[in-house]
Structure 1
Amino acid sequence: MSRAERLLQLMQTLRRHRQPVPGQALASELGVSLRTLYRDIASLQAQGADIEGEAGLGYVLRPGFMLPPLMFSEDEIEALVLGSRWVAERGDPRLGDAARNALAKITAVLPPELRHEADSSALLVGPENQTAPADQLLFQIRTAIRAERKLQVGYRDVQGEETSRILWPCAVGFFDRCLVMVAWCELRRAFRHFRIDRIGSLAILEERYPERRQALLQKWRQQEGIPAR
């Protein structure tokens, strides 16, 4: 493994952890000595990486450091291109534009050989199997999730019964045939899944729901048996 590859792997390892990681654990994962690890951390800090910690206490990478794009692997480039293309095709217009802009920013600073890989990627996004829900609905739901605001929706269930509900939205699942909102339902006093194409009306309320979105999402993950990311 070259030194550049080792530094990249160290950065990726630190990015996966939000709490300080002991130096010995990092050295073992990278297959290097503690002395080499300390030199690598010093090198990254000199390049601007906001790595905090010291020997015996562990190390953590603070948010904000931009990894040089030239260090992306071919697989990572393909993953970025495919993900951006998927969002551009399946998200609402603002989300689609954001995906295209992000990909353009990345490819603009790639070295020529990797830029060619991005431009000529053979991983394509196929057409949807059914008409997507109204773009405005998806945009409003995303806005409410970010602001942790309650939603009032008119919803038609699988039997065709229409109800008015107050929801605490915390996530949107993008499935091949439909989009599904995850929310705490005040009517049912439980988490429920709502197909967005069955929402007849939607309004963002001024009232914020009483929990942080991350905590709400974690409770849903525990209920569904989904490991935390």
Structure 2
Amino acid sequence: MAKSERLLQLMQALRVLPSPVTAHRLAEEMDVSLRTIYRDIDSLRVAGARIEGERGFGYQLTEDYALPPQTLTRIEIEALALGLGEIKCIGDPMLADAAASVLAKVAATLPSEREQQLFHAISKIYRPQPRFTFAIDIAPIRTACWNEQAVKIDYQDHNNDVSTRVIYPLSLMYTERKLTILSWCCKREDFRMFRTDRILAVEITDISFRPKRVSLLNQYLAKLTARETED
């Protein structure tokens, strides 16, 4: 295997394997010696890849300059075009604009042949109507998730009873038919799902739950998985 191809494979391994990944694990993945892994990591660092870590502790790719988008394969381009097409059909204007922006940015880095493949991909999404309709503006909730700020909502349940809740928004979950906020409910002191089509009002508070979002979300997802296994 040529060194250039091996370096590309090493970059991909650093991307997909859980970080930090040890040199032994990389050598096993690449089917090369430890010495080769150490040399290749040095070569990638010289080429501009920011790889943190050292021998005995493991490595983590933090800034990826060594493998630009023009190395995308044909099927990766198809997946990208299909995924961005689906996002445009969700019905969220903010995400639709972001998808169009991503498409333009990626296309600008591709060589002419790959650019044409991206814009004329054989995989298409056809949805005459948006997949979701939104009664409220999702942008403040998304911002609250990013910033790990509690949100006060007025929520109408399936019995049409309205209550005011303060929640920690952990994730926006796009299911088959509904957009749901996976949350920690301060009133119930437990995890709850809130459908966005039942939210009547949203107010971002000054209450921060940083840095708990990831750990709370992992707990919630584990709880949901356990529930599905029991069922």
Aligned residue in 2 for 1:40: 40
Of stretches 39-48 and 142-151 in structure 1, the one that deviates more from structure 2 is 39-48
Of stretches 217-226 and 118-127 in structure 1, the one that deviates more from structure 2 is 217-226
1:25–1:129 CA distance, 2 compared to 1 (3 A) = same
1:146–1:129 CA distance, 2 compared to 1 (3 A) = closer
CA contact (8 A) 1:17 1:60 kept: no
Inter-partner Cα distance in structure 1 for 2:196 and 2:117? 36
Once the two structures are TM-superposed, the CA of residue 2 in structure 1 deviates from its matched residue by: 4.7
CA contact (8 A) 2:156 2:162 kept: yes
1:154–1:70 CA distance, 2 compared to 1 (3 A) = same
Aligned residue in 2 for 1:7: 7
Inter-partner Cα distance in structure 1 for 2:15 and 2:193? 31
Query: What letter matches 1:45 in structure 2?
Result: R
1:52–1:152 CA distance, 2 compared to 1 (3 A) = closer
Aligned residue in 2 for 1:174: 174
Segments of structure 2 that go 5 or more residues without pairing to the other structure are 227-231
Normalization by structure 2: what TM-score? Answer: 0.86
Deviations 1:17-51 (A, max 9, x none): 46432222211111222333233222211210112
For the residue of structure 1 that corresponds to 2:63, the secondary structure is: coil
Inter-partner Cα distance in structure 2 for 1:117 and 1:160? 50
Aligned residue in 1 for 2:225: 225
Number of positions where the alignment pairs a residue of Structure 1 with one of Structure 2: 225
Segments of structure 1 that go 5 or more residues without pairing to the other structure are none
Once the two structures are TM-superposed, the CA of residue 67 in structure 1 deviates from its matched residue by: 2.8
Inter-partner Cα distance in structure 2 for 1:30 and 1:171? 35
Inter-partner Cα distance in structure 2 for 1:52 and 1:12? 15
Give me the identity figure in percent.
Answer: 39
1:46–1:33 CA distance, 2 compared to 1 (3 A) = same
Aligned residue in 1 for 2:194: 194
Once the two structures are TM-superposed, the CA of residue 168 in structure 1 deviates from its matched residue by: 0.8
Inter-partner Cα distance in structure 2 for 1:182 and 1:103? 29
Once the two structures are TM-superposed, the CA of residue 210 in structure 1 deviates from its matched residue by: 6.1
